[in-house]
Amino acid sequence: MQSNSYITLDIDWAPDFVIDYVADLFIANKVKATWFVTHKSQAVDKLRDYPDLFELGIHPNFLPNSSHGNTVDEVLDFCMNLVPEAVSMRTHALVQSTLILSRVLQRTPIKYDVSLFLAYHPVLQSVDFFWGANHKLLKRLPYNWEDDFEMEHPQVDWTGKNILNIEGVKVYDFHPIHVYLNCSKFETYLKLKENYPNINSVSREQITSYVENGNGTFVISKITV
């Protein structure tokens, strides 16, 4: 993997066999990654067996009807309970506000936020967010590539050209489900979700017919390893 590349993943309630599949790919290639966790699972617990490769962060869902809770504090408490060791986060659907970030500082040990998406930006640089009487600091680390955003790119390129042509730091965001599906277009995922609204409980057999051949997210995930 290029030395200026960093891999992050939003687990987004993926079933265990999907998480295992991506984890095995990274373990085999000794790829370091930060996994933003959404739920309790055996596959997530297994990631903890590879502390040299994997870091676990939180992926709080602040959208309405969140399974993480009804208030900012409830959501944060739920997520920190899932990953007590977490020092990093990316919010689900990138929901963010000054209120949310200030509560993160007051209520959690989170030090790094990766919720700023600067698509294909050539020069990523961290920025500081500080709040409160003691000026507690949250480092905000932007990222510049996301699998579903590549799917929407007017010149979508699964050889990785859009991001690999950038000389600066690359911070990738993969969703394990898109890697497993080798998703090249968002409709593939939407069709799966239409038939199986609870993605977390979908089985390997049910998902097989949705897996795409050809160039898609799996192909680019291999470029990065």
Applying CB under 5 A, the residues found at the interface with Zn ion are 10, 12, 92
**Cβ 17 to Zn ion, closest distance in Å?**
19
Closest to 115 (Cα-Cα) out of 133, 134, 81, 138: 138
Beta carbon nearer to Zn ion, 14 or 31: 14
Q: Cα(139)–Cα(191) distance, rounded to whole angstroms?
A: 37
Residue whose Cβ sits closest to Zn ion: 92
Q: How far is the CB of 144 from Zn ion (least distance, A)?
A: 17
CB atoms within 10 A of CB 69: 16
Residue 110 or 208: which CB sits closer to Zn ion? 110
CB of 93 to Zn ion, least distance (A): 6
**Start-to-end C-alpha separation, the chain:** 5
- Per the CB < 8 A criterion, the answer to whether 59 and 14 are in contact is no
Residue 90 or 170 having the CB closest to Zn ion: 90
Q: Give the separation between CA 183 and CA 13, rounded to whole angstroms.
A: 17
Shortest Å, Cβ 12 to Zn ion = 4
Choose between 38 and 144: whose C-beta lies nearer to Zn ion. Answer: 38
